[in-house]
Amino acid sequence: MLDPAVSLAMTILNVSNSPLSSLVGVLCDRIDARRVVLSGMLGLALCLLAARIIGANLWDGAPAMTPDSAPESVSEQPV
């Protein structure tokens, strides 16, 4: 079962992506799609830099994936 916080985060993501995808499509039609992608990458980089500056650790609570902790493939799981 999913954590309620994860469900809420996915709901917010989907609700915000619906109108924004139309806006991005219009921007790609009006200006070059490469500029839209590059500006989005720049915005993401600035947000990650700002998170780093304020001391937010975005990967807290996310377990490190190591070869020993990798999930078994479906065929190797017991039935």
Structure tokens at 44: 């993401």
End-to-end CA separation in angstroms for the chain: 21
Rounded Cα–Cα distance for residues 28 and 18 (Å): 16
Structure tokens at 70: 């990798």
Write out the chain's pLDDT in tens, 79 residues. 667 888 888 899 999 998 999 999 999 999 999 999 999 999 999 998 888 888 877 767 665 656 665 566 555 555 5
pLDDT at 45: 94
Please state the pTM of the whole predicted model.
Answer: 0.56
Residue ranges of domains in the chain: 1-55
Alpha carbon distances (Å) from 71 to 35, 47, 67: 39, 31, 9
